[in-house]
Amino acid sequence: MDLSVLVVMNNRSVCEQLADHLGRAGMRVRGATSLVHAEALVDEPVGMLVVDAQMPDGDGLDFGQRLHSYLGCGVIMCMDRDDKALRIALLRGGANACLVAPIDPDELEATLISVYRCLQAPSPNPLPMQVPSPWLLDSRQLVLRAPNGRSVVITSLEHCLLRTLFSGVDRRVGRSVLVARLAEAAPGYTEARLEALVSRLRAKVVRKCGLRLPLVSSYGHGYRFDGYFSLL
């Protein structure tokens, strides 16, 4: 399964054990033993997060909520004891699943696969991808206005991404071209960071505007903006 997993655990040996098991199961795994270290790793795509509820440098659930809002990833919380009240609080707070230490690697693997499949399943009432009214990009205010009239503030890199796509032939631009344009503003930009940028932007637009951004992958090429648009 092509799944990127970020494992954030208090105990280094546990973190390495779980990461090694998941890696042998075919997942792309990165590990961290602090939230500060984990923050430095999220410039690359993350499909699932496994995190201790209480980390030395912060709250694991808060970190999971922020990562989910940026990337739309699934969140599995790990607890050091079987506490019903804590488990309910974590699930109500946005965790997709909770596991109790000591974490069984096989159980974690199965839970990751199950949650990820649920998250990838099509919604029975999908949000519309295209509507007659255009998406409006305000370059001066750095605001993207959705066809339903709702707006979202975007970053300079997100603006650069959209402007480049809007200027492409058939609104289709290769990854190398996008990376080169973004590198003008952020030296050392990579394709992995581009994918993370796209993922964060999609999630932010859904959250703020209630519509899916029609920014889709173009197989063998890059990305394309598959909708009406206008520049302000």
Residues of the chain with CATH 3.40.50.2300: 4-120
- Per the CB < 8 A criterion, the answer to whether 28 and 61 are in contact is no
Q: What gap in Å lies between CA 22 and CA 76, rounded to an integer?
A: 14
- pLDDT tens sequence across 53-70: 989 888 888 888 887 876
Compute the distance between CA of residue 123 and CA of residue 142 in angstroms, rounded to an integer.
30
185 band by pLDDT with thresholds 50, 70 and 90? confident
Q: Bigger pLDDT: 81 or 2?
A: 81
Cis link prior to 56 (omega < 30° from 0)?
A: no
* For the chain, counts of helices (H) and of strands (E): 8, 14
**Fold assignment, 135-231:** Arc Repressor Mutant, subunit A (1.10.10)
Using the predicted structure, report yes or no on whether residue 130 has a pLDDT greater than 60.
no
**215-218 and 222-225 strand pairing:** antiparallel
Contact yes or no for 215/198 (Cβ under 8 A): yes
The pairing of beta strand 172-174 with beta strand 222-225: antiparallel
C-alpha dist (Å) from residue 43 to 46, 137, 191: 9, 24, 10
Nearest of 123, 122, 119, 61 to residue 87 by alpha carbon:
61
In this predicted structure, the answer to whether residue 131 has a pLDDT above a threshold of 50 is no
Question: What are the start and end residues of each CATH 1.10.10.10 domain in the chain?
Answer: 135-231
Neighbours of 142 (CB within 10 A): 14
- What pLDDT score was predicted for residue 75? 94
pLDDT surpassing 50 at residue 148: yes
Q: Supply the pTM of this predicted model.
A: 0.55
Alpha-carbon distances, residue 107 vs 110, 132, 213 (angstroms)? 5, 47, 35
The CATH fold of domain 4-120: Rossmann fold (3.40.50)
Please check the confidence at residue 197 and state whether its pLDDT lies above 80: yes
Taking CA atoms, 30 is separated from 39, 48, 122, 176, in Å, by 12, 11, 27, 25
As a residue count, the chain comes to 232
